[in-house]
Amino acid sequence: MLSMLLISLEQGLVFAVLALGVFITYKILDFPDLSVEGSFPAGAFTFAKVVTSGGGLIAGLLASLLVGALTGLLTSTIFSRLRIRPLLSGILTLTLMYSLNLRINGKSNVPLFSTPTLFRENIVGNILLLLVIVLALKFLLDRFFRTQIGYMLLATGDNETLVSGLGEKVNRYKTIGLMLSNALVALSGAIMAQNMRFADINMGSSIIVVALASIIIGDTFLRKSKKIKGTTRAILGALIYKLIGGAALYLGLAPTDLKGINALIVIVFIAYNQFSPSAWWTRFRKNILAVPERGKMHVADSSS
């Protein structure tokens, strides 16, 4: 049980970096960016290429960040310059990245057993190191959102008309958001490759579900608290998500059931948000009992 808990926490912190990246596009920009399924393995393959070619650990991580940012730039270019819808832009990017990822190393699976990585034999030490990395990224992201560019990025997600009225280019801030998001996603892919000791072409498959599950879970458990920032919710959601998945495996479900478990977790938490007792009672009062919301009274018909 303790081993399962530690492994889940370790993987949860890796996915917390992923969740921070997708948080930018999903929660702030409201941009359905599927290109993360291409940038995640791109980060892993880029890291693998650098370290297996004699480059250092830091160089590999920085290269993965750069490739992720370029992936976001590609999606933004397809979306803004070619005027292709966001969903299709992401699909086209991830399709292109599949072939590009294979080109990076020339094969679909790259072992990393003899290369330098962040991880050691001590899993507690690994968890502490990952916690420092995640908290540092969260701190930098929160600081960024308090800069002028960060404020404009937030405003772009809330009200594009306002941003345009201020004489700013909306697509510029969407590009910044997409590049930053995919850079973090690629970094998560590089860290995951080190954790698994290999980079595989299929490691990005359905990774968007993992990210969305983390964000949705974080919002569900802490939605009444206004003091907790969205980045904190995303991190906690990723940890809870992996703990749920680890518990499912501990109870006897097969590893091949993981994708199904991922989908069910998302469905359950979305359904909880939609059909929680308070939400159900509100709908029942409004639609069945025709009781107006508190503070809103219906005006009587003056013609009667």
pLDDT score for 284 = 56
Tell me which of 270 and 155 has the higher pLDDT. Answer: 155
pLDDT digits (tens, 9 = 90+) for 44-82: 999 999 999 999 999 999 999 999 999 999 999 999 999
pLDDT digits (tens, 9 = 90+) for 183-196: 999 999 999 999 99
Tell me the torsion sign for CA atoms 287, 290, 291, 297.
positive
What's the whole-number mean pLDDT along residues 5-19?
95
State the Cα–Cα distance between residues 153 and 23, nearest whole angstrom. Answer: 13
**pLDDT score recorded for residue 261:** 81
Token pair of 232 as six digits: 């904190």
Instruction: Give 200's strand partners.
Output: 109
What is the structure's pLDDT at 67? 97
| CA–CA distance, 275 with 290 (Å, rounded to integer) | 19
What does DSSP assign to residue 302?
Answer: T
Both tokens of 134, joined, read: 């995640």
For position 296, what pLDDT does the model report? 47
Cα 220 to Cα 223: distance, rounded to the nearest angstrom: 5
The residue among 266 and 48 whose pLDDT is bigger is 48
Q: Check pLDDT > 60 for residue 251.
A: yes
Residue 300 has pLDDT above 50, yes or no: no
Alpha carbon 299 to its chain's center: 46
- The predicted structure's pLDDT at residue 297: 45
Q: What angle do CA 198, 203, 208 make, to 5 degrees?
A: 145
From the CA atom positions of the chain, what is the Rg in Å? 21
pLDDT at residue 7, as a whole number: 92
Mean pLDDT to the nearest integer, 268-282: 68
**DSSP states of 122-149:** -HHHHHHHHHHHHHHHHHHHHHHTTSHH
pLDDT at 127 over 80: yes
Cβ count near 106 (within 10 Å): 8
Closest of 174, 198, 172, 203 to residue 186, by C-alpha: 203
Ramachandran area for residue 296 (φ above 0: left; ψ -120 to 50: alpha; else beta): beta
Cα(233)–Cα(222) distance, integer angstroms: 7
The burial of 275, by beta-carbon neighbours within 10 Å (0-12 exposed, 13-18 middle, 19 or more buried), is given as: exposed
Q: Is 131 exposed, middle or buried (0-12, 13-18, 19+ CB in 10 A)?
A: middle
Of the pLDDT bands very low, low, confident and very high (cuts 50, 70, 90), residue 124 is very high
User: What mean pLDDT is predicted for residues 32-37?
Assistant: 95
Cα torsion 150, 153, 158, 164: sign: positive
Residue 280 pLDDT exceeds 60: no
Residue 17 banded pLDDT, cuts 50, 70, 90: very high
Domain extents in the chain: 2-204
Per-residue pLDDT at 304: 36
